[in-house]
Structure 1
Amino acid sequence: MKKNDSIECSIHDLGTDGQGIGRYEGMTVFIDGALPGETVRAKLIALKKNYGVGKLEEVIAASPMRVKPPCHVFGKCGGCSLQHLSYAGQLQFKHNHVMSCIQRIGGLDIPVGFPLPTRHEYRYRNKAAFPVQQNGRQVDIGFYAAHSHRIVDVDDCKIQPSDFHIVMSQLRVWIVKNNISIYDEKTHTGLLRHVILRENKEGDIMLVLCINGEDIPRKSHLIMLFEFVLPQVKSIMLNINTQKTNAILGQKSVCIHGRDHIFETLAGLTFKLGAQSFLQVNSAQTEVLYHTLFKMLGLTGSETVFDLYCGVGTISLFAAQHAKKVVGIEIVKQAISDAQFNARLNDIENAEFLCGDASALLPGLVKTHGRADAAIVDPPRKGLDEAVIRTLAASGIPKIGYVSCNPSTLARDLKLFYELGYETDLIQPVDLFSQTTHIESVCVLEKH
């Protein structure tokens, strides 16, 4: 077996990034676009010591779970990797993935519920970040191809709101007509780096232009364009990012049209969202996620709850409706300010927010508020720092609700929690990201 060989093999599994996994002459082969149960022909494009990578050439025998992807750039864009798999098949894959991580990484035997399905398989996202790149005389705006910084031009992403397509088409006209320079990450020259769009349930849109500079030319023309063509664009922001970095957002944002925020409602609560605010990208399914969490926590209204990684206070304010007192902790100062505003906006008086590192603040919180009856953690993909887990366990908090966006780090963290005397009897996945391999999971750990 050598590079560029054409091989025929059977696919028996899916990898964590959605690649079909087969075997040929005793070696594992990863093939994008292939599904379990299929026989495929592929060209070997890479050979490593223990595995090969193939490019799908032909599906000889198709899986009954195979469907036709609605997006014309599927397979080129690195965003959605499961559009060719039926939604029932996607849920089964995610169920298997969570179970595999818990058993393989955590070494634990914990029941995993079948993922709670989304109500909308497409058009569910409320936010998108589009990188921008010069391509000869054209400008590409879209998403990175898998494993690269090459942008695939996308005119209408099927998991984004349809209005985003209209905004992007008008923006392209403004860029070309006004000769707006495009950022080049190699030379650190050019102005426009990224475009971010956010939409709430009411259809209000925030447009954020991430720029390598302090201002943009012809902004009056841009504002007028959207006032006439798409008045639901309620906010146009400039985010200043002049650093040589892959980070999308800089620290400073300036409003050039409308207001510097939009509002979103989740299960009766209202939240102010700015250019840099974090909110789950599937608003409808976020309500399912939070209802699942609080059903599993079983709060009675008499508890004190600590919410770590509280962001703009979404989970904290939900918790405040079920608890006596909630203390939210977040290291980002602006997020704490937004959380405090959101508490006042919703007339919630039993939620307090503190800015700082969770592991550093927790011991002091126990002294001032007493031991909490429950804690909630919703960390980023890297999971919890070991210091946070050990501090939580040392505080003796009887219940810990864990919301995870990464089964691998969840499994790693649960292993340490188990060693420190905490256990859970169920992990419940909730699907917020159909057409992708990503999955949220919820569990409640109890002290034993």
Structure 2
Amino acid sequence: MSKQKNRNDKKPAQSNHQSGKPNKKQGPAKGKPKGGNPKNSSPNARQGGPKATTAKVTCSRLTNEGKGLVEWEGKQLEVAHLLPGETAEVRVSKKGRFGDAELKRVLHQSEDRVEPPCPYYEQCGGCQLQHMSNQAQGQFKQNTVDALMKPFGKPEPILTMDHPYDYRNKSQMAIGRNKDRQVIGGLYAQNTHQIIPMDRCLIHDPKADEIVQTIKGMMKSFKMQPYNEDTGQGFLRHVLIKVGQTSGEIMVVLVAASPIFKGKNNFITALRKAHPEITTLLLNINKRNTSAVLGDQEKVLFGKGTITDTLGGMTFEISAKSFYQINPAQTEKLYTKAIEMANLTGKETVVDAYSGIGTISLIASQKAGSVMGVELNQDAVRDAIRNSKRNGVKNARFYQGDAGEFMVQMASRGEKADVVLMDPPRSGSDEAFLSSIAKLKPKRVVYVSCNPETQARDLKYLTKHGYAVEAIQPVDMFPQTYHVEAVAKLVRKEKAGKR
């Protein structure tokens, strides 16, 4: 995989509600056991019988994915939705994946347990922590980062959200039929392409879900057929919606299997009448039988084909395929901390690796002497250049290419950079990129990560090659999920000071 971000949206391998960056991970619940104990709906849970046994266990701690760890017959098992200190009955499958058990009921509950507010929580898998209080979620993420970063210093207290719902400015719902041939829209169940019909996802922007419900209700009257993955027949596959949470602009993308859109004009008129807040509507054609949600072909049906939003005092143009942080409120906190760590005085030369559509590059340009953004994705580079012009930025330049190679070439020409900003995908960086930092020898490196595990691995390399970690700040970008971001400040050792 390239070191730069792959920004093409894909069907989740795990759930629909993970971090907005690659590598990406996907009928209402009919009731929950008393006391809010989750009722697992996985295939192993349904099989049961002689292939499984029931055991009484006590949870000792949580994994980094928020699952409870228990001991059983000398083995360590992971149990979703179980909290430390809780005693529970679990089903251990003799045939299932080694190391996993399924929660049947909690016998002794933790004070941190709450009733999950989402009726689809046990079926969906997109959120993993709704059974934990907000305070407990924050502490869990703090503990995760603290443990991973222990070799480098003590992280600052995590920056959480006051209202940890309704935050996703991008959502995508799959469209299909249920066994009664009714049109349904929803998210995929964990590790499957089985659609869970839902009217509302509590971490989506509420207006986005409302629009999806309207579209779903219009399909019958407009004879719009949902796509069937098994037969390859049908028209509408997904509805993707992006909301500018500052601008209020809304983009709706109909992802279809064919460019032939019967009744298109009447459909557009009806949808705009129902939702005049929609500012642009697109048709994306995806004929492929792959995990990619979006295809390469795109047609603007209404509006300019993009929306704008404001972040860090800058206005950004966002296209259907643009990578843009999905939680703007927390992104403001994250980027503010990153710029603070860069210690910019207006004279520095900054390299922004993995620069995407230029968000952090342009925000940094307000306090830097010059900024060079480097990004492998050509579409993202074009977006960054447009965003630079839109904001009247004169001291930022964007380059299409591999950031590691770019920095090696800078070093070979005797050029210097004072600061390197890096925001890699979940897989982190590789040794080729990290070695390019060692060659360029910037005074400071600010490492923004959506995966502290790979960040810790990369920090280990950098601290062996001339750098010291001075500060670490975790940020809860994805409440209700186990994901957590962290930004770290590194300095050349001869410049390293006390924390």
TM-score (norm 2): 0.85
Contact in 2 for aligned 1:428/1:441 (Cα 8 Å): yes
Contact in 2 for aligned 1:119/1:285 (Cα 8 Å): no
Return the letter of the residue paired with 1:415: K
Q: Structure 1 residues 196 and 50 mapped into 2: Cα distance closer, same or farther (>3 Å)?
A: closer
Q: CA deviation at 1:430?
A: 0.6
Return the letter of the residue paired with 1:169: Q
Q: 2:355 aligns with which of 310, 332, 346?
A: 310
Tell me, which stretches of 5 or more residues in structure 2 are unaligned?
1-49, 494-499
Paired position in structure 1 for 2:378: 333
Map 1:401-416 to 2 at 5 A: 401-416=446-461
Tell me, which stretches of 5 or more residues in structure 1 are unaligned?
none
Contact in 1 for aligned 2:184/2:216 (Cα 8 Å): no
The yes-or-no answer on 1:70 pairing with 2:117 is: yes
Contact in 1 for aligned 2:222/2:267 (Cα 8 Å): no
Q: CA deviation at 1:396?
A: 1.3
Map 1:372-411 to 2 at 5 A: 372-411=417-456
Map 1:29-40 to 2 at 5 A: 29-40=77-88
Bigger RCO (CA 8 Å, 6+ sep)? 2
Return the letter of the residue paired with 2:243: E
Q: CA deviation at 1:143?
A: 1.4
CA offsets, 1:33-61, max 9 Å, x none?
2111211112223556962x222221111
Contact in 1 for aligned 2:251/2:281 (Cα 8 Å): yes
Q: Structure 1 residues 267 and 214 mapped into 2: Cα distance closer, same or farther (>3 Å)?
A: same
Q: CA deviation at 1:407?
A: 1.3
Q: Structure 1 residues 350 and 242 mapped into 2: Cα distance closer, same or farther (>3 Å)?
A: same
| Larger fraction in strand | 1
Q: 1:419 aligns with which of 443, 464, 469?
A: 464
Q: CA deviation at 1:215?
A: 3.6
CA offsets, 1:318-349, max 9 Å, x none?
11011000000111111111111111111110
Equivalent pairs: percent with the same residue? 37
State the alpha-carbon separation in 2 of the partners of residues 386 and 185 from structure 1: 39
Contact in 2 for aligned 1:78/1:143 (Cα 8 Å): no
Q: 2:107 aligns with which of 49, 60, 79?
A: 60
Q: CA deviation at 1:285?
A: 1.0
State the alpha-carbon separation in 2 of the partners of residues 408 and 185 from structure 1: 35
Paired position in structure 2 for 1:7: 55
State the alpha-carbon separation in 2 of the partners of residues 47 and 242 from structure 1: 37
Paired position in structure 2 for 1:350: 395
CA offsets, 1:40-85, max 9 Å, x none?
112223556962x222221111110111111111111121111110
State the SS of the aligned residue for 1:5.
strand
User: How many residues are paired up?
Assistant: 443
Q: Structure 1 residues 300 and 192 mapped into 2: Cα distance closer, same or farther (>3 Å)?
A: same
Q: 1:112 aligns with which of 149, 152, 155?
A: 155
Contact in 1 for aligned 2:240/2:254 (Cα 8 Å): yes
Q: 1:85 aligns with which of 117, 132, 136?
A: 132
Q: 1:436 aligns with which of 450, 457, 481?
A: 481
Q: 1:273 aligns with which of 303, 309, 318?
A: 318
Deviates more, 1:179-188 or 1:344-353: 179-188
Q: CA deviation at 1:186?
A: 4.0
